[in-house]
Chains A and B, each alone.
Chain A
Amino acid sequence: MSTPQALESGSRHDLRTGASPDAPDEDKFKDEEGAFGYCHSYETSSRYDGPGLRVVLFVSGCLLRCTYCHNPDTWHLKDGTYVSAEQVLRRLGDFAPSLRSLGGGLTISGGEAMVQLAFVKRIFAGAKAMGLHTAIETSGFLGDRADDAFLNTIDLVLLDIKSSDPDTYRRVTGRDIAPTLRFAQRLASIGKPVWVRFTLVPGATDHPENVAGIARFVAPMRNVEWVEVQPFHQMGSFKWKAMGLDYKHHDTPPPSRELVSRVIGQFRDAGCNAR
């Protein structure tokens, strides 16, 4: 397995504040479920991933293999660093007062945040105890694993729906779409706030029927606050190259302004609050 770039000195992987880097966490292992997990990196100043200013924690491990993924260095669980939830929360605590003042909170992304469900749940519970807003960014593929107690620790779900068409979905992600749609319906039934995210990849997800299908599915859901159209970009391509992976989108351009407007327009026409 290749070493992710960010493992260099001063990398964003470093979550082990307060511990000597030489001291293995395993020494303190209490064998509690979710007490430890694998984290890829974190970021403290995002304005995209929920309301206010967000600390975004990227956990590793994902079951999807999206062809345009911009974080292929988070696919495998052990691409991350093994850290305790306690350490993650201690680190989050360094930022909590500022996040509260800025009306922000914690967003857990990945990878797929629900791969390490118990770990993530523990972190969310700790974040709630600090008075922070919590959000999870997920493909929904593992939505069946999320029990009510888990969902209770989350204020907002950023749900990536990559396609409405099972074939397209399988072609783009390598997986089945049904669990995601099931999860979306469950969130709607309990009224959990959701921002639907749709990555617009020219030639892969931009077909009007594909967009229309998602719009039709989402439009009736009153819990969906936003549909966010995320234009494809090439910022992750260097990672594919560095990892020696076969990248199918070398020649895919970012969507044009017109295409983005068309897609946003489609969502709006269907009655979605889109941006």
Chain B
Amino acid sequence: MKGSAALKQDAKADSWRGFQPGDWSSTINVRDFIVRNVTSYSGDEKFLAGPTQRTKAVWAKMQPYFAEERKKGVLAVDAQNPSTMLAHQAGYIDRDNEIIVGLQTDQPFKRAIFPFGGLRMVETGLKAAGFEPDAKVHEAFTKYRKSHNDGVFDAYTSEIMNCRRSGIITGLPDAYGRGRIIGDYRRVALYGTDRLLEAKRQERAQIDDMWPTDEVIRQREELAEQMRALQDLASMAKLYGYDITQPATNAAEAFQWTYFAYLGAIKEANGAAMSIGRISSFLDIYIERDLKEGALDEAGAQELWDQLVQKLRIVRFLRTPDYDALFSGDPYWATECVGGMDLDGRALVTKSSYRMLHTLYNLGPAPEPNITVLWSNHMPPAFKRFCVKVSKDTSSLQYENDDLMRPYWGDDYAIACCVSAMRLGKQMQFFGARVNFAKALLYAINGGRDEVSGDQVAPRTMPVTGDFLDYDDVMAKFDTTMEWLAKTYVHAMNCIHYMHDKYFYERLEMALHDRDILRTMAFGIAGLSVVADSLSAIKYGKIRVTRDATGLVVDYQNEGNASTPQFGNNDDRVDQIASELVTRFMAKIRKHPTYRNATHTQSVLTITSNVVYGKATGNTPDGRREGEPFGPGANPMHGRDSHGWLASCLSVAKLPYKDSLDGISYTVSVAPQKAHLSEAQLIDEATKAFDVYFGRGGFHMNLNVIDRETLEDAIKNPDKYPQLTIRVSGYAVNFVRLTPEQQRDVISRTFHGQI
């Protein structure tokens, strides 16, 4: 009779049957597994299959929930049990027909609470949704247990509090999960939790001899937490009747194991963005093996994708109204990356890249998972064409430039949230929302006073004194303001992430990382195009200021050349100002040391906060009126990119990625085609247009193919458009679930006539 060790050995040999062995067989190395085993596919989409009966049955069961949710918002919350991997019993939607199982709580659409992030957020969220906070939870988190939120506010300075209040720095993850960490969920499928635990034990043993500095002690504690998390994950799977301590032996198990790992993560953390990574070409390897063995057919393969995606469409977190104003429509950025190339120049496009996109037809368009095409100009033309077709039909895809990112992040990175690239299992980010760059410019003009409240927020400096703005004078003052802002911003971020690690550590997500990883600290700016246009107006026009009784500059009139250059027209006079601002602010951020020695990065991204930021910001010298939304992300201001999409996207493509390594978001809306082109020609032309934009260094493209009339009709008749999906800055959203203000903002954006 064999010993248990030998049995386990056999089990592993069996689960890895038919795979090309390599470094991955003896170490934890998913990337190596993929490049040795992946089957690139360069054909077209004709092989794809429709949804199975089982998929349709599960989907039908989910529809009433969706409809109810559109009416009511939050359907149910478990207010008693703080979420952990083991807080809830197994839950199902339709047990007979679900082939991928696992819910966040014991019922679909029932949300969980995460008081470790902050109790106030939980209680505000509950009340806003019409539920009562639980007395016991309240007692536990006021009397016995401190939260991340409490910790951060212990460490904040009054200056940071002022910045938070005035809205020059907002959206900071100081009361909720920071997110933007992607566990390498594939590891669970490939290795099973036992092997991963073994690797963690080895990593731990290696630092036993190290002198216990803060960092070493922290690492030991974190590794212990990670190991506990892996054990809990295995116990969670057991609730559903699965043993994931061993590797997956076929495609269905590989899907289930990977999903369990992701599910564990969203039970443990309520990060703003909980991305799933880059699973399609990994899981394709298992599908290919099953197909070869005759254990699966195409309908079965598609069924796995459809059912996994069904699960990814119903992730829900309890948020507050303030949070919804920043990130509306209940997004969670279950971002999944498809496509891209490997370092040897082979396309990582597989049949499962197609299958993932095909879920948008089988289940209809939807914002989640946030499907992200890693666009390389070298990808097979058939796949490029299919992507464009899917965009045309669903407006549900975003595109990011693999040729730009691969030299930085290799060929096994994924996108967290909208535009943040990170190597899977080897890198994480300290998320930092963004500063209101337009407000910073106004602070510079007003000597550090807030243009709305009149309060002295930034240190007192010399305000602009004359009646007209002088470019060199304003730039010098703005430079000083940026210096202060960068320092305050890094300061706040260090406090936040120190406390997040301490009180709300993502033990499972980090268990699916190596011990020694690259940490980035991601800063961000909102309102870049407003600032660039304002500085251009100051430089090329003649801006007279209007002051109120207290001497505060509250308005601006251009008495000179009315036609000052505006960002979004491929005009170097202003595009260079924008690029230079990105570089300049990044340089200032880099001056200040970060918590855990994280690498500073920056994004030009707003999500939907461009509306909130605009609302909180006074008149700007570019002619934008108080309260008017900013352009989203790196977009030109609405309507100012008046020379067509080519000019608009060439401006955005100039922004330097090296100084905004956390991404540059650009959203384009084009009307459905009216030119004399057949659909095939149109798709070919659009494909070429993508190659041009990305070839010129463009980083990101959110593409909407829709006309304004449809959106206006959807505002009037929301019930007609339950699945109308549009891309906003960095994510997709159900249009009918946006706030009225945000809907108006989307409609007022530039619609280009054609691509």
Contact = CB atoms under 8 A, between A and B. Distances in A.
Interface of A: 7-14, 17-18, 20-22, 42-48, 52-53, 55, 94-95, 97-98, 101-103, 228, 275
Interface of B: 537, 540, 558, 560-566, 569-573, 623, 640, 642-647, 650, 675-677, 685, 688-689, 691-692, 695-696, 752-755
Residue from the set A22, A42, A45 with the largest chain B CB neighbour count within 10 Å: A45
B562 A7 contact: yes
Given A11-B642, A102-B685, A45 B566 contact: no
- The interface centre, meaning the residue of B563, B565, B640, B647 with most chain A CB atoms within 10 A of its CB, is B563
Contacts of B647: 44-45, 95
B85 to A, nearest CB: 51
A17 B561 contact: no
A44 B562 CA distance: 22
A95 B650 contact: yes
Contacts of A12: 642-643
Contacts of B558: 9
6 contacts: A10-B563, A14-B563, A17-B571, A44-B647, A45-B645, A47-B675
Given A9-B537, A45-B645, 17 more contacts: A9-B563, A10-B566, A10-B640, A12-B642, A12-B643, A13-B563, A14-B565, A21-B561, A44-B646, A45-B644, A45-B752, A47-B677, A47-B685, A47-B754, A98-B646, A101-B692, A102-B692
B677 to A, nearest CB: 7
Contacts of B573: 17-18
A155 B650 CA distance: 26
Contacts, number: 94
Nearest to A100: B692
B570 A95 contact: yes
Contacts of B650: 94-95, 98
A73 to B, nearest CB: 15
B564 A21 contact: yes
A150 to B, nearest CB: 27
B643 A44 contact: yes
Contacts of B642: 10-12
Given A7-B563, A13-B563, A43 B644 contact: yes
Contacts of A53: 646, 685, 689
B170 to A, nearest CB: 29
Contact of A21 (B540, B566, B643): B540
For A13, A21, A46, A275, the residue with the greatest tally of chain B CB atoms inside 10 Å of its CB is A21
A22 B642 CA distance: 22
Nearest to B567: A10
Contacts of A7: 562-563
Contact of B570 (A8, A11, A20, A94): A94
A8 B639 CA distance: 12
Contacts of B566: 9-10
Nearest to A11: B563
Nearest to B566: A10
Contact of A95 (B540, B623, B646): B646
Contact of B623 (A9, A13, A101): A9
A48 B696 CA distance: 24
Given A7-B562, A11-B563, A45 B676 contact: no
A9 B570 contact: no
A9 B562 contact: yes
Given A42-B643, A44-B646, A45-B753, A22 B561 contact: yes
A101 B688 contact: yes
Contacts of A42: 643
Nearest to B564: A9
Contacts of A97: 696
Contacts of B685: 47, 52-53, 102
Contact of A17 (B572, B640, B675, B752): B572
Q: Residue among A22, A44, A103 with the most chain B CB within 10 A? A: A44
A229 B753 CA distance: 19
A8 to B, nearest CB: 6
Sorted from nearest, which 6 A-B pairs have the closest CB atoms? A45-B644, A44-B644, A47-B675, A21-B561, A10-B566, A44-B646
Contact of A102 (B623, B640, B689, B752): B689
Contacts of B563: 7-11, 13-14, 21
B382 to A, nearest CB: 20
Contacts of A44: 570, 643-647
A101 B691 CA distance: 9
A17 B325 CA distance: 39
Nearest to A53: B646
A18 B689 CA distance: 26
Nearest to B677: A47
A109 to B, nearest CB: 14
A228 B643 CA distance: 24
Given A10-B642, A98-B646, A45 B754 contact: yes
A69 B753 CA distance: 20
A18 B571 CA distance: 9
A211 to B, nearest CB: 19
Contacts of B675: 47-48
A211 B727 CA distance: 45
Contacts of B677: 47
Contacts of B537: 9
B544 to A, nearest CB: 15
A228 B688 contact: no
A156 to B, nearest CB: 14
Contacts of A14: 563, 565, 569, 571
Contacts of A47: 675, 677, 685, 754
Nearest to A22: B561
A275 B565 CA distance: 39
A21 B573 CA distance: 11
Contacts of A55: 646
A46 B560 CA distance: 32
A65 to B, nearest CB: 27
B625 to A, nearest CB: 13
Of A18, A53, A228, the most chain B CB neighbours within 10 A belong to A53
B644 A46 contact: yes
A29 B490 CA distance: 54
Contacts of B689: 53, 102
A228 B106 CA distance: 62
Nearest to B647: A44
Contacts of B561: 21-22
A256 B637 CA distance: 37
A11 B572 CA distance: 16
Contacts of A52: 685
A94 B644 CA distance: 14
Q: Which of B537, B642, B675, B689 has the most CB of A within 10 A?
A: B642
A9 B348 CA distance: 46
A275 to B, nearest CB: 5
Contacts of B752: 45
Contacts of B540: 20-21
A112 B168 CA distance: 51
Contacts of A11: 563, 642
B245 to A, nearest CB: 53
A30 to B, nearest CB: 24
A17 B561 CA distance: 14
Contacts of B692: 98, 101-102
Contacts of A102: 685, 688-689, 692
Contacts of A43: 643-644
A52 B685 CA distance: 8
Contacts of B754: 45-47
Contacts of B562: 7-9
A72 to B, nearest CB: 20
Nearest to B693: A98
A210 to B, nearest CB: 23
A97 B691 CA distance: 12
A222 to B, nearest CB: 20
A186 to B, nearest CB: 26
A46 B623 CA distance: 29
B693 to A, nearest CB: 8
